[in-house]
Amino acid sequence: MTTPTIELKPTSHPLSDAEREQILASPGFGRHFTDHMVTIRWTEGRGWHDAQLVPYAPLSIDPANMTLHYAQAIFEGLKAYRQPDGSVATFRPDENARRFQDSARRLAMPELPVETFVEACDALVKQDKAWVPGSGEQSLYLRPFMFATEVGLGVRPSNEYLFVVIASPAGAYFPGGVKPVSVWLSQEYVRAAPGGTGAAKCAGNYAASLVAQAQAAEHGCDQVVWLDAVERRWIEEMGGMNLYFVYGNRIVTPRLTGTLLPGITRASLLQIAADLGYEVSESRISVDDWKDGNADGSLTEVFACGTAAVITPVGSVKSTTGDWTVGDGQPGEVTMKLRKALLDIQTGAAEDTHGWMHRL
């Protein structure tokens, strides 16, 4: 029997200034990590303890670690942006902290206090500030996460957990830049059913999405669009993004049903679009609404939104019941206007009238 070759990659943090600058010139997404991380432990009867800011390093996991078997694992994603005066600010970290608590409750995990979540993100960004890219849309993506650390195979909530924050410089999530994505309507697989974990940001949701994402790729599409589990008719969201439908001056996003992730970008855009004078609403949108609105020209644009992807136009749709181009297949005017308005707030180019930026 041959032994597979395993490439050993010793951690070489901290990197030199020159190495870091080279990474920041073209960071990609989620490929490079900063020099440090924050860890906080939780133990039954003791609560949260041992908060540490330590060099970024591998974690040692027991083979019977409960997470590896039963997937008590949740995460968040938020970004820190360089401001015009050189300082750094994160976008709505308290909202991520609250959603992290909601996810924890759904997975029978302990809730980290909002202030501790924000403090942990702040500590890492301050320590690794040199990793926050200096320009425009680029940012430092923060990935707070928590998983069970008890060792054992009994199926029940773990009695100990580890909360960790790591950070990764981020360029564009889609390497092609602002280029409309093509989407595959998943009619075979579903992401979330009523009563399930769809509204939680838990690792298992993403594991379950990968086969449909692969199916999308087989059909030549960039992303999968999830439909509701019961009727396979209502549009829910994409793999890592929420969706918006533009009807001229009227903008609609699927309403939160408990089976889709309540995106912070989605919530922010409801406000920004209203500020810009659009008529905004949350409602149910069916596949037929999409198809018909497209055919009669009333549906002018569709875009996806999320922390990692910001705002990305949807250019074309493929499904088992037909294919169509959205509008003229190009990035729409409203999409690009909202994208600029959001990024201007995040990068400090526009006034933060809602107090969303958390300055460090």
Q: Which residues bind ligand PLP (CB under 6 A)?
A: 77, 237, 240-242, 261, 263-266, 306-307
By C-beta, is 33 or 91 nearer to ligand PLP?
91
Q: Any idea of the CA torsion for 46, 51, 54, 56, to the nearest 10 degrees?
A: 80
Angle at Cα 44 formed by Cα 42 and Cα 49, nearest 5°?
30
The residues binding ligand COI (CB under 6 A) are: 77, 240, 306-308
How many CB atoms lie under 10 A from the CB of residue 324? 13
347 binds, among ligand COI, ligand PLP, none (CB under 5 to 8 A by kind): none
Query: CA 153 to CA 210: how far, in whole Å?
Result: 26
For residue 273, CA distances in Å to 71, 158, 165, 220, 337 come to: 37, 43, 32, 32, 9
Q: How far is the CB of 260 from ligand PLP (least distance, A)?
A: 7
358 binds, among ligand COI, ligand PLP, none (CB under 5 to 8 A by kind): none
By C-beta, is 103 or 294 nearer to ligand PLP?
103
By C-beta, is 282 or 328 nearer to ligand PLP?
282
With CA atoms as reference, report the closest residue to 103 among 71, 142, 146, 74.
74
261 binds, among ligand COI, ligand PLP, none (CB under 5 to 8 A by kind): ligand PLP
Q: How far is the CB of 142 from ligand COI (least distance, A)?
A: 9
How does strand 250-254 pair with strand 310-319? Answer: unpaired
The residue whose Cβ lies closest to ligand COI is 77
By C-beta, is 150 or 236 nearer to ligand COI?
236
By C-beta, is 137 or 160 nearer to ligand COI?
137
Query: Is residue 56 left, alpha or beta, with left meaning phi > 0 and alpha meaning psi from -120 to 50?
Result: beta
Q: How far is the CB of 241 from ligand PLP (least distance, A)?
A: 5
By C-beta, is 269 or 287 nearer to ligand COI?
269
Give phi and psi for 48, each to the nearest 5: -80, 135
327 binds, among ligand PLP, ligand COI, none (CB under 5 to 8 A by kind): none
Angle at Cα 211 formed by Cα 331 and Cα 33, nearest 5°?
70
Strand ranges inside 149-232, DSSP E: 160-170, 181-186, 223-227
122 binds, among ligand PLP, ligand COI, none (CB under 5 to 8 A by kind): none
Q: How far is the CB of 297 from ligand COI (least distance, A)?
A: 32
By C-beta, is 23 or 167 nearer to ligand PLP?
167
By C-beta, is 171 or 240 nearer to ligand COI?
240
Q: How far is the CB of 336 from ligand COI (least distance, A)?
A: 20
Q: How far is the CB of 239 from ligand PLP (least distance, A)?
A: 6
3-class state of residue 347 by DSSP: coil
With CA atoms as reference, report the closest residue to 111 among 100, 119, 122.
100
Q: How far is the CB of 266 from ligand COI (least distance, A)?
A: 11
3-class state of residue 219 by DSSP: coil
Q: How far is the CB of 116 from ligand PLP (least distance, A)?
A: 20
What DSSP character marks residue 144?
E
